[in-house]
A and B are shown apart, each in its own frame.
Chain A
Amino acid sequence: MTRGAGPEPGTLALRPPRHRVERRAVAWWMLQSLVLSGPLLAGTITAYALWTSARPWLAALIAGAAVLLLAGLLVEPLWRYRVHRWETTDEAVYALTGWLVREWRVAPLSRVQTVDAVQGPLEQLLGLSTLRVTTASSRGAVDIGGLDRETAARTAERLSRIAQATPGDAT
């Protein structure tokens, strides 16, 4: 699981985090794209059928929506699966996410305020969970999506225990 065709980190000498996310996460990202871009495509097609005078413009919009949906269904989930990785130690949470824009996030557990395992409706369907670690900074949260429900709950429990043991007000 930790091995395999991970993304080449280039010359950045940060090693990638140790764990991949679940394979089911690919389905989760596909469903997400479907829910977000699907209605857009359906809407433009309906408008095309109903509103004859604006057809040349709507054709362009339909093409745009179709490209968005296809990219979201076929490209983004697989790309994300290749990139997304995560790791927790006794000192920090480390996550690598993104596809077009790649993002490495490291948060120290000594500054962590809350650790939650969150499940959206689609994630419940697939038995997945998102590990959400927030710090006192409004921009410092680390979200790790696509984890197995059990893993996320266990990790959240372990992290909050460590975070509570750290003295200070986490600012």
Chain B
Amino acid sequence: MTRPVLPSGWQRLHVRVTWVDLARSVLSLLPAALSVWVFGIDPGSGGTWPLFGLAAVGLIGAAADALRWTFTRYRITLTHVELTTGVFRRVHRSIRRDRIRSVDTEARLRHRLAGLRVVKIGAGQQAAAGESALRLDAVSRADARALRRLLLPPAPAVPAPRESPESPDTPDGTKTSDAPLTQPDSLAPLTQPDSHAPLAQPDSLAPLAVFARFEPRWVVYNMFNFWAYVLAAGLAWGGYWLLSGFGVDVSGAVSGLLDREGTGRAWAVAAAFGAVSAVGVLGLAVSYFTEYWNFELARVPGRDGTLLRTRRGLFTTREVNRDENRIRGAQISEPALWRWLGIADTRVITTGLSMWAPSQPADILPRGPVTAARRVTGQVLGGADNPLETPLAPHPHAALRRRLVWATAVPGVLALVLSWLTLAGAVPAATLWGPAALWPCTLAAAAVAYRALGHVIAGPYLVTRSGLVTRSTTALRRSAVSTIVIRESLLQRRLGLRTVSAMTAAGEGGYDTPDIGRDESLAFAVQAAPGLLAPFVAAGAEGDSGCGRGDSNPHGVATNRT
């Protein structure tokens, strides 16, 4: 298939995008058409409006997408990647090629069926600047691969691309080496004739090391979740509207079922709860398999150094490449409710990736067992000792006292306000049981939060652990720490505690270590940012307010250099 090459090197997105739009329109019309022509439902009756709504949304979406395709051009020059798009509001974006940090591909089912890939080109500081990556939606699979190799060429000595199970791949290894620049039509010969790519397959380079692969057993860790109920509710709601669009009386059928059972209301509620839970849990299990099918976490060669690549997905495939030069650490989060099961989420701390993006590009593993999370993270971070397996120093008991004070103060104040309101006759006296019931819970929470605390300096990393609802263990490279903040509230001052925060450009911007003992906190802070605090460490340990010039303490310097 030949591609229209426009003058001045500007290129359109792949033409199959419009075919996909056409197919989408037809598909979205299908349910309404079936309902009216096949099942003979009267379109005037109220039940069919969801189907017509679906059709309208589908048609409008497809038309807008086709319009977008018409008005979108991109080009790759020697120095920049440029994209112009937009019908009413023209947008021109360009990214300097030497700033490009990631080229990720993604494909929904419709892209997969049409042999297309969405390519996202990210430049370093985009997360801080609130800028999204440049998005090419969509180009052919071969073009996506060629773009990746063009924009992020691997280091010279790279093993040949892994053989793929199906249709012969074009020899892209040679292609990149003799086409380092970028006449856009140099991509054209790479276009594959066959458009159907039924299976996920390596879209890029052979890995240097594979850290983790898809684990079917981990489905257990992904099944039990609050989202099960949201999912079940969504499924039930969608099913209800769909069926009523075809003239099925769902609510009547359900109430009929309940009547025939003739059991009590409590049993009915319990049965409904059980059914909803089962549907939700099953739904999450299926979603785990579809989302993480073919998962692989690997180190692959990149332009300057190595990349950490995750690849996953059965219908929607997603590949994320992270520049390892920008990785500053890792974080393992364990939700409190599932601590007994050892569930953990794993993410890397890196600059240039948004921690809050819905696609969660920083996550490097699916939710899984914490032991595996620690092991894999240790391998990813490298080095002889795994910082996340280093035993942590506990915090002083004063930290527990501080939490107990707060755990008592909150229900206490609540009780005071309520008793005032009771005396004023605004609320019944029985509401005072609320704070009374709350107190043991907050005390227990205080103990849990205290037990979560821990910190240590492990080689090049500082490791800190805290959190009540989610216990997060963070390993942050000490050389990445910029600002050090030490905080002390009035209560902390009384209890001899301090909170040390290490601020960094990566990840969440800063990581707190709450409630370290006062003396220990300075040692920790001094080690957390090597060399930074040394000039400000006073000679005496006690009450040195007469701060003269140049009294930076040799002892302090020595501690910090070791």
Q: Is the CB of A14 within 8 A of B483?
A: no
Q: A138-B509, A140-B503 are in contact. Are A14 and B485 (CB under 8 A)?
A: no
Majority SS at the chain A contact face: loop
Interface string of B531-562 (1 = CB under 8 A from A): 01101111011111111010101001000000
B-to-A contact residues, CB < 8 Å = 128, 326, 351, 424, 480, 482-490, 493, 496, 498, 501, 503-506, 508-510, 518-519, 521-522, 529, 532-533, 535-538, 540-547, 549, 551, 553, 556
Q: Is the CB of B543 within 8 A of A15?
A: no
Q: Are A137 and B482 in contact (CB under 8 A)?
A: yes
Q: Looking at the complex, which one of A8, A89, A108 makes contact with B545 (CB distance below 8 Å)?
A: A8
| Beta-carbon contact of B501 and A139 below 8 Å | yes
Task: Find chain B residues with CB under 8 A from A100 CB.
Answer: 489-490
B234 to chain A, nearest CB (A): 34
A150 lies within 8 A of chain B by Cβ: no
13 further A-B pairs in the complex, CB-CB below 8 A; given A137-B483, A171-B326: A3-B546, A8-B543, A10-B518, A12-B498, A15-B537, A91-B535, A106-B532, A107-B482, A135-B503, A136-B128, A137-B510, A139-B510, A171-B506
A136 and B505 form a contact (CB under 8 A) = yes
What would 16 A/B residue contacts be, using CB atoms closer than 8 Å? A11-B496, A11-B542, A12-B486, A13-B553, A14-B533, A14-B536, A14-B537, A16-B547, A89-B535, A100-B489, A104-B485, A104-B486, A105-B483, A106-B536, A111-B482, A140-B510
Most B CB atoms within 10 A — which of A11, A13, A103, A111? Answer: A13
Contact B545 A137 (CB under 8 A): no
Query: Quick one: which of A11, A13, A92, A142 contacts B537, CB cutoff 8 A?
Result: A13
A140 adjacent to B487 (CB under 8 Å): no
A6→B546 CA distance, assembly (Å): 9
Task: Verify B522–A12 contact, CB threshold 8 A.
Answer: yes
Identify which of B351, B503, B521, B547 contacts A15 (C-beta below 8 A). Answer: B547
A49 in contact (CB, < 8 A): no
Say whether B503 contacts A16, CB under 8 Å.
no
Whether A140 and B482, one on each chain, are in contact in the complex, defined by CB atoms closer than 8 angstroms, is: yes
Cβ distance B221 to chain A, nearest Cβ, rounded Å? 31
Partner of A101, one of B489, B522, B537: B489
Give which listed residue, A7, A12, A87, A138, contacts B521 with CB less than 8 A: A12
Q: How far is the CA of A18 from the CA of B550 in the complex (A)?
A: 11
Of chain B, the residue at the smallest CB distance from A6 is B545
Taking the complex as formed, is A120 at the interface, i.e. its CB lies under 8 A from any CB of chain B? no
- From A2, A6, A14, A94, give the contact of B522 (CB < 8 A): A14
A2-B547 contact, Cβ under 8 Å, with A10-B518, A91-B535, A137-B504? yes
Across chains A and B, which 7 residue pairs bring their CB atoms closest together, nearest first?
A136-B505, A15-B538, A140-B483, A140-B503, A139-B510, A111-B482, A138-B509
- What separation, in Å, do the CA atoms of A103 and B537 have in the docked complex? 16
Within 8 A of B (CB), among A128-145: 135-142
How far does the Cβ of A14 sit from chain B's closest Cβ, in whole Å? 5
Q: Using C-beta atoms within 8 Å of the partner chain, give the interface range for chain A.
A: 35 or more
User: Is there an interface contact between B505 and A11, defined as CB atoms closer than 8 Å?
Assistant: no
Most chain B CB within a 10 A radius of its CB, from A7, A16, A94, A140: A140
User: Do A142 and B483 have beta carbons less than 8 Å apart?
Assistant: yes
Report the minimum CB–CB distance from A136 to chain B (whole Å): 3
User: With a CB–CB cut-off of 8 A, which chain B residues contact A103?
Assistant: 485-488
Q: What is the CA–CA distance of A100 and B503 in the complex, to the nearest angstrom?
A: 22
Residues of B within 8 A of A18 (CB): 547, 549
Which residues of chain A in 64-113 are interfacial with respect to chain B, using CB atoms and an 8 Å cutoff? 87, 89, 91-92, 94, 98, 100-108, 111
Q: Are B488 and A102 closer than 8 Å at their CB atoms?
A: yes
Which residues on the A side are within 8 Å of B509 (C-beta)? 137-140
- With A135-B503, A137-B509 already in contact, the answer to whether A16 and B545 are too (CB < 8 A) is yes
Task: Find out whether the CB atom of A137 lies under 8 angstroms from the CB atom of B541.
Answer: no
Closest to B501 in A: A139
Known: A14-B522, A15-B551, A103-B487. A135 touches B533 (CB 8 A): no
CB of A129 to closest CB in B, whole Å: 21
Q: A56 an interface residue at 8 Å Cβ cutoff?
A: yes
Shortest Cβ distance from A108 into chain B, in angstroms? 5
Taking the closest CB of chain B, its distance from the CB of A79, in whole angstroms, is 11
In the complex, how many angstroms separate the beta carbon of A97 from the nearest chain B beta carbon? 10
The residues of A that contact B483 with a CB separation of less than 8 Å are 105-108, 111, 135, 137, 139-142
B505 in contact with A137 (CB, 8 Å): yes
Q: Does A121 contact B (CB under 8 A)?
A: no
A1-39 vs B: 1/0 string, CB under 8 Å? 011001111111111111000000000000000000000
CB distance from A88 to the nearest CB of B (A): 11
In the complex, chain A residues whose CB is within 8 Å of the CB of B537: 13-15
Q: Would A94 and B545 count as touching, CB distance under 8 A?
A: no
Give the distance in Å from the alpha carbon of A14 to the alpha carbon of B540 in the complex: 9
A106 to B483, CA, bound (A): 6
Return chain A residues, CB-CB under 8 Å to B547.
2, 6, 15-16, 18
The residue on B at minimum CB distance from A136 is B505
CA A142 to CA B541, docked complex, whole Å: 26
